[in-house]
């Protein structure tokens, strides 16, 4: 029996991979406009890193991590997200000593043992961005504007930006207590998960999808009404800066986020097009994370998008690549000439195809059709004798005779033949 891949772990095949490359290239281009540099972080980290940063009482740490003990008896975990690793690297390499402001992006696979469905996988890919060292709300607005800019560059009108504030260690505890008090009378309606985390993480009931939790949280107090003066001011200013640069957003007071490190601004880019997997990108501010993993007290903010979900939103768009030229060769003498010209043109930077086996003209033209090349060149005995051959523009239909040397063919193709 043939061996298959593991459930929730996908191959990304040619045909689809071009879309991924486009998403990645767009992210690099846009993020670099905002001064970000790439960082590459390892897939395996000490398990403790994620327990301390994401939080012991989160779904990710409680039940979704790919953790194991390696041959040296070390407890290790395949990263479920990138922020903790990037901050670990930031602290470990003392990047803050030179300048606390680091602007970083990363891309790559993440691993969570979730129930696979459309838009949710066990190995999935994130493109993330993190900015450290700035507490001011200008940077919140900048990060959100960059993320919006990225989706605009992809030509997507969905997803849309929702923002919230989760306050800080100063104001959140009082809000938690107010929410717990509100939920106490309604605790029977909560789902089993939310009942269990009533003490450890009661806020999760606000964005729980179960009907009971939605009913129980109707009319619940809002974090935004409980923000301390500093957090309230931070949120107002973030909104003002977003409005100043025309970045559209709406407020979602129920947005909680599934990771414990967030403070103040949190956000999601949501779509209605992917069923229950509505968050295409998500993030927030994490002013206590760096110190929680042993670094100095330095604030940070960032986001990550799910590349599979972005690719699903781009499903309708065609990213297939077209070769520049297909050379059809008729007969034993023309075939080596086609091969020689292909090689010379490839060295000049053109994408060129031939039929490797030199089959009949009909089958070569079928291949040319399949490749959908921009130009075709047909070489037979007569053309070899003349030293010229017809070069056809497959888009415009025009045809000109070109000399059978690479430079002339290239000139004719770039000259708009």
Of residues 125 through 154, those in contact with ligand HAM by CB under 6 A are 126, 128, 130
Identity of the residue, 271 or 376, whose beta carbon is nearer to ligand HAM in the bound complex = 271
Stretch that binds ligand HAM, among 26-34, 210-218, 301-309, 400-408 (CB under 6 A): 301-309
Residue in 159, 167, 283, 299 binding ligand HAM, rule: CB under 6 A: 283
Alpha-carbon distances of 337 from 95, 191, 378, 387, 405, rounded to whole Å: 57, 72, 11, 11, 10
> Phi and psi (nearest 5°) for 36?
-85, 150
In angstroms, give the least distance from the CB of 283 to ligand HAM. 4
With residues binned 3-state (H G I as helix, E B as strand, rest as coil), the percentages for the chain, rounded to 5, are 40, 20, 40
Identity of the residue, 117 or 152, whose beta carbon is nearer to ligand HAM in the bound complex = 117
Which tokens belong to 76?
Answer: 């290790």
How far does CA 60 lie from the centroid of its chain? 19
Tell me the pairing of strands 263-270 and 160-165: antiparallel
Cα maximum dimension of the chain? 93
Q: Is the dihedral of CA 151, 154, 159, 160 positive or negative?
A: positive
- The backbone region for 385, taken as left when phi is positive above 0, alpha when psi lies in -120 to 50, beta otherwise, is alpha
In angstroms, give the least distance from the CB of 25 to ligand HAM. 19
323 close to 331: Cβ distance less than 8 angstroms:
no
Residue in 45, 59, 81, 287 binding ligand HAM, rule: CB under 6 A: 81
By CB under 6 A, residue 298 contacts ligand HAM: no
Residue in 31, 124, 241, 326 binding ligand HAM, rule: CB under 6 A: 124
Stretch that binds ligand HAM, among 165-173, 230-238, 282-290, 348-356 (CB under 6 A): 282-290
Residue in 146, 220, 304, 328 binding ligand HAM, rule: CB under 6 A: 304
Q: Which among 264, 248, 292 is positioned nearest to 144, based on CA atoms?
A: 248
In angstroms, give the least distance from the CB of 308 to ligand HAM. 5
Give me the residue label for tokens 């000593």.
97
Q: How far apart are CA 299 and CA 124, in angstroms?
A: 27
In angstroms, give the least distance from the CB of 307 to ligand HAM. 8
> Phi and psi (nearest 5°) for 357?
-95, 0
Binding-residue pattern over the window 239 to 278 for ligand HAM, x denoting contact by CB under 6 A: -------------------xx-------------------
By CB under 6 A, residue 302 contacts ligand HAM: yes
Question: Element (H or E) spanning 388, and its range?
Answer: strand 388-393
By CB under 6 A, residue 299 contacts ligand HAM: no
In angstroms, give the least distance from the CB of 268 to ligand HAM. 7
By CB under 6 A, residue 373 contacts ligand HAM: no
By CB under 6 A, residue 309 contacts ligand HAM: yes
Q: Which chain residues interact with ligand HAM by CB under 6 A? A: 81-83, 112, 114, 120-121, 124, 126, 128, 130, 258-259, 279-284, 302-306, 308-309
């Amino acid at each position: 029996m043939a061996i298959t891949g593991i459930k929730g772990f996908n191959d990304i095949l040619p045909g689809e991979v071009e879309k991924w490359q486009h998403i990645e290239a767009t992210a690099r281009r846009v993020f670099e406009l905002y001064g970000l540099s790439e960082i590459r972080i390892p897939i395996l980290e000490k398990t403790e890193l994620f327990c301390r940063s994401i939080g012991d009482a989160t779904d990710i740490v409680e039940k979704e991590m790919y953790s194991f003990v390696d041959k040296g008896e070390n407890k290790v975990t395949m990263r479920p997200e990138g922020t903790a690793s990037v901050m670990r690297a930031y602290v470990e390499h003392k990047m803050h000593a030179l300048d606390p402001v680091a602007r970083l992006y990363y891309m790559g696979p993440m691993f969570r043992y979730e129930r696979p469905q459309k838009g949710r996988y066990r190995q999935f890919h994130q493109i993330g961005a993190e900015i450290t060292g700035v507490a001011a709300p200008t940077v919140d607005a900048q990060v959100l504007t960059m993320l919006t800019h990225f989706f605009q560059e992809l030509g997507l009108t969905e997803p849309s930006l929702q923002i919230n504030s989760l306050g800080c260690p100063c104001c959140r505890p009082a809000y938690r207590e107010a929410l717990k008090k509100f939920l106490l009378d309604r605790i029977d309606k909560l789902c089993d998960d939310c009942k269990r985390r009533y003490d450890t993480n009661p806020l999760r009931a606000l964005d729980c999808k179960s009907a009971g939790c939605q009913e129980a949280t109707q009319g619940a107090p809002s974090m935004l009404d409980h923000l301390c003066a500093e957090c309230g001011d931070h949120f107002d200013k973030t909104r003002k800066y977003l409005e100043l640069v025309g970045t559209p957003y709406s407020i979602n007071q129920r947005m909680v986020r599934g990771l414990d490190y967030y403070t103040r601004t949190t956000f999601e880019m949501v779509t209605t097009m992917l069923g229950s997997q509505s968050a295409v990108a998500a993030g927030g501010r994490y002013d206590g994370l760096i110190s929680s993993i042993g670094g100095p007290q330095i604030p940070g903010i960032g986001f990550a998008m799910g590349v599979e979900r972005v690719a699903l939103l781009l499903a309708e768009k065609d990213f297939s690549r077209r070769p520049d030229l297909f050379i059809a060769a008729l007969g034993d003498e023309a075939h080596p000439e086609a091969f020689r010209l292909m090689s010379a043109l490839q060295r000049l930077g053109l994408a060129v195809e031939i039929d490797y086996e030199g089959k009949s003209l009909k089958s070569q033209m079928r291949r040319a059709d399949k490749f959908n090349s921009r130009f075709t060149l047909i070489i037979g005995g007569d053309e070899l004798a003349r030293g010229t051959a017809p070069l056809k523009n497959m888009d415009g239909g025009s045809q000109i005779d070109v000399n059978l040397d690479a430079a002339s063919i290239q000139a004719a193709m770039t000259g708009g033949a």
